[in-house]
């Protein structure tokens, strides 16, 4: 499975869980953001873990 797009919807609480789970993909600035140079390939399992673990369910991804 390949992930072609990841985004964070409004409502992030800046808990930091996504950044600690997938630091190559997410960063916290006031709220969680997908890094401009995010490496999706090879991080699919971590992206899914971050999305499923998000307490406010705002991390979304699209599979290819």
What's the pLDDT at 51?
A: 98
**Half-sphere exposure of residue 57: CA atoms within 13 angstroms, side-chain side:** 0
Q: What is the CATH number of the domain that holds 16?
A: 3.30.70.20
Tally of domains in the chain: 1
Domain that holds residue 17: 3-63
What is the DSSP track for 1-64? Answer: --EEEEEE-TT-----HHHHH-TTTEEESSSEEE-TT---TT-HHHHHHHHHH-TT--EEEEE-
What's the pLDDT at 1?
A: 73
Tell me the per-residue pLDDT of 4-38, one tens digit each, with 9 for 90 and over.
999 999 999 999 999 999 999 999 989 999 999 99
Q: How confident is the model at residue 50 (pLDDT cuts 50, 70, 90)?
A: very high
């Amino acid at each position: 499975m390949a992930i072609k797009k990841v985004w964070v919807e409004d409502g992030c609480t800046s808990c930091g869980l996504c950044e600690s789970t997938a630091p190559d993909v997410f960063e916290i600035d006031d709220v969680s953001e997908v890094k401009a140079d995010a490496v999706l390939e090879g991080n699919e399992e971590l992206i899914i873990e971050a999305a499923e673990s998000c307490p406010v369910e705002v991390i979304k991804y699209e599979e290819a």
